[in-house]
Amino acid sequence: MEESILALPPKLQARFLRMLELIARHGVHLGYPHTRAMGNGLFEIRAKSMEGIARGLYCYQSGQRIIVLHVFVKKTQKTPPKELDKALKRLREVKKHDT
């Protein structure tokens, strides 16, 4: 996922990394508009700058470690099903190896 984050435009990348720092510090209590629960242990990071809007889908491994599953630049109002499917597939892999 690191390469996906680094591929974001510079200001959007900085905002996204800042959101990750805040999540690491405050956990699930950061809340809207920065994060949102998507269900089934999947959460969304929301980063916005003049360069656009980025979304990251993540989960918690063993309750503590943040695993960023998928990062993309958002171009539509709703999260595209293709992007959500990628994250859900990776979430199943994380859960399979987290037992």
Give 25-81 as a DSSP string.
Answer: HHGGGG-TTTEEEEETTEEEEEEEETTEEEEEEEEEETTTEEEEEEEEEE-SSSPPH
Residue 28's pLDDT is: 67
Q: What is the pLDDT of residue 92?
A: 92
Specify the CATH number of the domain 2-97: 3.30.2310
Share of residues in the chain with pLDDT > 90 (%): 47
Mean pLDDT for 55-65 is: 84
Of 15-19, 68-72, 83-87, 93-97, the poorest mean pLDDT is in: 93-97
Phi then psi dihedrals of residue 43, to 5 deg: -125, 160
Q: Cα-flanking dihedrals φ and ψ of residue 96, to 5°?
A: -65, -40
**The pTM is what?**
0.86
Could you state, in order of their start, the residue ranges of all structural domains in the chain?
2-97
* More reliable by pLDDT, 79 or 62: 79
Is the per-residue pLDDT at 95 higher than 80?
Answer: yes
